[in-house]
Amino acid sequence: MALSLDLAQLGAAYAAGATTPLEVIDEILCRIEAAGDDHVWISRRSAEDLRAEAKALAAQAVPTRGPIYGIPFAVKDNIDAAGLATTAACPAFAYQPAQSAPVVARLVAAGAILIGKTNLDQFATGLVGVRSPYGTPRNPFDPAMAPGGSSSGSAVAVAAGLVSFALGTDTAGSGRVPAAFNNLVGLKPTRGLISTRGVVPACRSLDCVSIFALTVADARQVLAVAAGFDAADPYSRAAPPGFSLVQRLPARFRFGVPAPAARVFRGDPSSRTVFEQAIADAVAAGGEAEEIDFAPFAEAAALLYGPWVAERSTALRVIFADHPEALHPVTREIIGAGFAESAVDLFAAQHRLAALRQVTAPLWQRLAFLLVPSVSGAFSLAEIAAEPIATNSELGRYTNFTNLLDLAAIAIPGGFSPAGFPAGVTLIGPAFHDGVLATFAERLHRDAAPTLGATGEPQPAAAPTPASAAVHPEIEIAVFGAHLAGEALNATLVGLGGRFRRPCHTAPCYRMLALPGAMPRPGLVRVGVGGAEIAGEVWALPSAALAPLLTGIAPPLGLGTVALEGGAPAFGFICEAGAAGEDITAFGGWRAYRAARR
């Protein structure tokens, strides 16, 4: 069967009647057989079960078939799937789950076909992909190179064309590092967007279920099915009103990149070239690059190897105490070190992390995303064997901080070295900006990587943005007071999916009042004469978020049409005529007035 397994082409083949789920399963079984002992799988469903499920799917009425109907997928073996043991790559730990993890159940209910459970760094402790008693999954680009971890088997299964997508986990980078080494998209969603119930914990407060896919569109489609609030998961979070995975690419945007001194590539010129090309591609797409101070992100990353190691030790304290010999030697060393951390160390680190969140938060008020290399370079299996801890730590340079700072991320292919080994870049943004990141990532992926994984198949044609009720296009809103970046209510805009677009000024026909009340806020009043230009900002907000925004606006303020400089109309905050308050027009804007009052 000469058919790519990406969702667009496989879905089109189903729709056209060119293939059936049963034919796809038979092809996958042949591919797995041909791959031989590649150390990708820990357990698989029987051929009989897979064929029976495929036949049952084929009997479904066409109108009931969803976007992942008949799509084969794999699951990292630290995620429960009914009928298959969960081992976390530790045979002594293995158990038979009574039911599938909610994320697996959601995918199966939507028509996806689970093929089996994949290999991993034991207990998801590692970024290298070599710490497993089940062997090291063979990198399909170069068997002498690491596959990346900890979700090694999941990444290789997708890259090698054995499944359409796979679930991994990502606590420190386990869903992004393997994506870089396998020419894949690795989506690390906002923490809590996908339930982690039924997942063997690594650092439970930081763990995310991640998605490996051949294209950004595929990853986004899978996330749309997999995401959902789970009241039984204490770390689950509901997406805010207006949250959408489909966005429009703005004509102009600003993105961040580490300053040159913070760009480390282990002397790997190809990785540097890939990153610099990604910056150029983003600029060509309408972006403006801003060099940022990467030091706070690096400091946050370093915290992960301090007291947060104790969280891993907490999850594994029973097997560490009762069966330490069952642990991989490197895993045992790491877990053992966590027991030496104290509560004092943890609180000190938490306080420092809170400060680093405050330091980095203002960046998201002006940046659409932060662009970083996915890894600083690739390691061979021999290099990892010689320096197992140091190489692993280096692979987390651009990934370890993401969950600690409550950020979303998506890794995409960026190109290849002269030897043909892949490298990638990652887009990072605030929590619940998953759709925004995917929109930019899809554009950059198309510019950078013409083929899918290691299959040699070309990227499918870009699908038009669907004009459906599930899509919430953005609307621009001009703000002039407490919703400005850095002001008291700006977090409301950001939480609703808002993104800073540009500074602005009104036309010279407004006066500004400081309104009385407990919450300092201004009122923008249009006048016939005696007006002035008032400084403000234009933000983009998903249109579905307008209703929750309106509920928080108290009289005499409201939303209406504001005339900007040059006379261009804009949707924005206005004030009722006749409102009482101190006239602060002479300051030229709310920030200047507030600065003068401090």
- Percent of the chain having pLDDT more than 90? 75
What φ, ψ does residue 416 adopt, rounded to 5°?
A: -135, 155
Closest CA to 177 of 148, 138, 210, 214: 148
Claim to verify: residue 292 and residue 242 sit in the same structural domain? yes
Active-site annotation, residues: 76, 150, 174
Higher local confidence (pLDDT), 212 or 248: 212
**Given 392, 427, 458, which residue is the final one in a domain?**
458
470 pLDDT higher than 60: no
φ/ψ bin of 420: left (φ > 0), alpha (ψ from -120 to 50), beta (otherwise): left
Cis peptide upstream of residue 195 (ω within 30 degrees of 0): no
Task: Determine the Cα–Cα distance for residues 141 and 183; give it in Å rounded to an integer.
Answer: 9
Question: Is residue 466 assigned to a domain?
Answer: no
Contact (Cβ atoms closer than 8 angstroms) between residue 408 and residue 188 = yes
Q: How many CB atoms lie within 10 A of CB 584?
A: 21
- Percent of the chain having pLDDT more than 70? 97
Task: Determine the Cα–Cα distance for residues 147 and 131; give it in Å rounded to an integer.
Answer: 11
598 pLDDT higher than 80: no
Residue 243: predicted pLDDT: 78
Question: Is residue 467 assigned to a domain?
Answer: no
Claim to verify: residue 64 and residue 171 sit in the same structural domain? yes
pLDDT tens per residue across span 484-507: 988 888 888 888 878 787 889 999
Question: How many domains are contained in the chain?
Answer: 2
Claim to verify: residue 433 and residue 534 sit in the same structural domain? no
Strands 510-515 and 582-583: antiparallel
Claim to verify: residue 531 and residue 434 sit in the same structural domain? no
Residue 274: predicted pLDDT: 94
For residue 49, give the CATH number of its domain. Answer: 3.90.1300.10
Claim to verify: residue 428 and residue 538 sit in the same structural domain? no
pLDDT tens per residue across span 91-137: 999 999 999 999 999 999 999 999 999 999 999 999 999 999 999 99
Strands 521-526 and 510-515: antiparallel
Question: Is residue 378 assigned to a domain?
Answer: yes
469 pLDDT higher than 70: no
Closest CA to 395 of 266, 547, 203, 213: 266
Claim to verify: residue 585 and residue 481 sit in the same structural domain? yes
Claim to verify: residue 202 and residue 285 sit in the same structural domain? yes
pLDDT tens per residue across span 195-207: 999 999 999 999 9
Q: What is the model's pTM?
A: 0.82
Claim to verify: residue 382 and residue 483 sit in the same structural domain? no
Question: Is residue 2 assigned to a domain?
Answer: no
Domain boundaries, position 177? 7-458
Higher local confidence (pLDDT), 380 or 3: 380
Question: Is residue 465 assigned to a domain?
Answer: no
pLDDT tens per residue across span 37-70: 999 999 999 999 999 999 999 888 776 688 899 9
Contact (Cβ atoms closer than 8 angstroms) between residue 70 and residue 57 = yes
Claim to verify: residue 258 and residue 302 sit in the same structural domain? yes
Claim to verify: residue 228 and residue 282 sit in the same structural domain? yes
Claim to verify: residue 454 and residue 478 sit in the same structural domain? no
pLDDT category, 519, cuts 50, 70, 90? Answer: confident
**Given 458, 488, 515, which residue is the final one in a domain?**
458
Task: Say which residues have a Cβ less than 8 Å from residue 355's Cβ, sequence separation at least 6.
Answer: none
188 pLDDT higher than 70: yes
For residue 537, give the CATH number of its domain. Answer: 3.10.490.10
Mean pLDDT of 543-556: 82
pLDDT tens per residue across span 219-274: 999 999 999 999 999 999 988 766 778 877 877 889 999 999 999 998 788 889 99
What φ, ψ does residue 144 adopt, rounded to 5°?
A: -85, -10
Claim to verify: residue 319 and residue 435 sit in the same structural domain? yes
**Given 396, 424, 458, which residue is the final one in a domain?**
458
pLDDT tens per residue across span 290-338: 999 999 999 999 999 889 999 999 989 999 998 999 899 999 999 998 9
